[in-house]
């Protein structure tokens, strides 16, 4: 997921990481919300060593390699700005490259987390992934923000899968829309990516001026903005009630929900 060059610029990290999953959704009869429970998966590698075999050699050695080479000096410049407490400017072209790199990293991280046997469950359709390969800019259905994290030593990722109905109450037979949301935190910089399966307006996940929008409509930006906490970034990925009000349904603590329409997978909250 992350290129090998980062291992000399981020970390070192312990060769073990834990992935936490939780969520909620509507019961099959739509009468109430229920929890899907929590899951914990321990992997014997670090975030810097996470890989996926879902990416073919042609892509890995072709457009992905070229994108990594273009993004590396931009990321190194941002790392240096956070470490030295100085500001730096990103041009429109640099903002576009960084946004495309962030989307690529978000999507390949999801594929890695699914494992080789579950690639058909990827939240973003295969045709969207092909367009990311063929086009020189991020997809128009993705929104990307750049932020500064207070913790300069943190290396962490949050990711959430969200489905939401177009109407309330849900329309029978209508396919819900999907969001893949992620936040990657490295050396005091944070990249927030919200990818939709169709183009929709989306409010900033961080209050102004804390998040710098890189995509869509890229423009020159000055980094860093005022910094935010790890919890702020977690909530930017895991909270949607300011934009998606829940249906008028109670929560049933005695029931268990299966993954389906209305399911939202929440990232595990950071320890305080």
Q: What SS3 string covers the chain?
A: CCCHHHHHCCCCCCCCEEEEEEEEEECCCCCCEEECCCEEEEECCCHHHCCCCCCCHHHHHCHHHHHHHHHHHHHHHHHHHHHHCCCEEECHHHHHHHHHHHHHHHHHHHHHHHCCCCHHHCCCCHHHHHHHHHCCCCCCCEEEEEEEECCCCCEEEEEEEEEECCCCCCCCCCCCEEEEEEEEEECCEEEEEEEECCCCCCCCCCCCCCCEEEECCCCCEEECCCCECHHHHHHHHHCCCCCCCCCCCCEEEEEECCCCCCCEEEECCCCC
Average model confidence (pLDDT) across the chain: 81
Write the CB contacts of 96 (distance below 8 Å, at least 6 apart in sequence): 137, 138, 214, 215, 218
DSSP 8-state code for residue 48: G
Q: Which residue has the higher pLDDT, 194 or 208?
A: 194
**What number is the average pLDDT over the span 172-195?**
89
Closest CA to 146 of 76, 230, 211, 234: 211
| Percent of residues, the chain, with pLDDT higher than 90 | 35
pLDDT for 260: 41
User: Would you say residue 272 has pLDDT above 60?
Assistant: no
Q: What is the pLDDT of residue 89?
A: 97
pLDDT at 118: 57
* Paired residues of 263 in beta bridges: none
Lowest model confidence (mean pLDDT) among 51-60, 109-118, 199-208, 256-265: 256-265
């Amino acid at each position: 997921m992350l290129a090998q060059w980062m291992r000399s610029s981020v970390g070192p990290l312990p060769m073990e990481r834990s992935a936490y999953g939780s969520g909620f959704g509507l019961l099959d009869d739509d009468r109430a919300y229920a929890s899907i429970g929590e899951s914990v998966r321990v992997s014997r590698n670090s975030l810097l060593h996470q890989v996926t075999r879902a990416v073919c050699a042609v892509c890995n050695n072709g457009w992905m390699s070229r994108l990594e080479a273009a993004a590396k000096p931009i990321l190194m410049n941002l790392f240096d700005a956070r470490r030295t407490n100085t500001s730096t400017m990103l041009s429109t072209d640099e903002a576009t490259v960084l946004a495309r790199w962030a989307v690529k990293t978000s999507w390949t991280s999801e594929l890695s987390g699914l494992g080789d046997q579950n690639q058909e469950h990827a939240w973003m359709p295969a045709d969207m992934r092909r367009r990311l390969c063929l086009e020189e800019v991020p997809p128009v259905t993705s929104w990307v923000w750049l932020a500064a994290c207070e913790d300069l030593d943190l290396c962490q990722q949050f990711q959430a899968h969200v489905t939401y109905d177009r109407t309330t109450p849900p329309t029978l037979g209508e396919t819900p829309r999907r969001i893949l949301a992620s936040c990657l935190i490295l050396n005091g910089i944070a990249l927030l990516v919200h990818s939709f399966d169709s183009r929709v307006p989306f409010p900033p996940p961080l209050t102004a001026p804390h998040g710098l929008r890189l995509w869509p409509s890229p423009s020159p930006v000055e980094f860093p903005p005022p910094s935010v906490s790890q919890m702020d970034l977690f909530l930017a990925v895991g909270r949607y009630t300011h934009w998606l009000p829940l249906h008028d349904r109670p929560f049933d603590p005695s029931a268990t929900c299966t993954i389906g329409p209305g399911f939202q997978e929440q990232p595990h909250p950071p320890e305080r």
